[in-house]
Amino acid sequence: MKAEESLFLLLVGALWGCTNPLMRQGSLNQSETNGESNLNATKPFINLLIRLANIKIWLPYALNQAGSLLYYKLLASSRLTISVPICNATAMVFSCITSILLGERVDRPWRAGVGVLLIMLGSGICMMASENNASANGVLVKDEL
């Protein structure tokens, strides 16, 4: 696995993971400010426009979708067996870290910390195994020629 490809996989995980808590907080803040008034219940179109005008919702969403576009580009040029687990695992790590930085309550912080470490260790092992496997396959192909 090339270093550039690894960085793009981590970028996808960061874009997905960091934006999820931000979208959650933006939508919670929007719900608190609007309350449950009859005006919003009777006029859903106005409620939709108010939500779309909130930068705390649409900016993280746009960044999340940029991560998805990069992910689809990576899937076309990389191996699925390594790309999918790395992107999903790093998204979980970045989501956990971002949630903690935003001040969200974590029930068992030591379990979250151990989980993050295990995810990072497993992702690193997958990347190294992929690199070793690719170089071993390259040697076999050269010998056969």
Residues in the chain: 145
Q: pTM score, two decimals?
A: 0.71
The whole-angstrom separation of Cα 87 and Cα 79 is 12
pLDDT greater than 90 at residue 31: no
Task: Indicate the SS3 state at residue 108.
Answer: coil
pLDDT greater than 60 at residue 34: no
Tell me, what's the pLDDT at 41?
Answer: 57
Q: Enumerate the domain spans of the chain.
A: 3-144
What percent of the chain has a predicted confidence (pLDDT) above 90?
26
What is the pLDDT confidence band of residue 42, given thresholds at 50, 70 and 90?
A: low
Handedness of CA 105, 91, 11, 69 (dihedral sign): negative
Mean residue pLDDT of the chain comes to: 80
pLDDT greater than 80 at residue 142: no
> Can you tell me the mean pLDDT for 118-136?
79
Answer with the residue of higher pLDDT: 106 or 36: 106
Which tokens is 98 given? 């971002």
**Of 23-37, 86-100, 120-134, where does the model show the most confidence?**
86-100
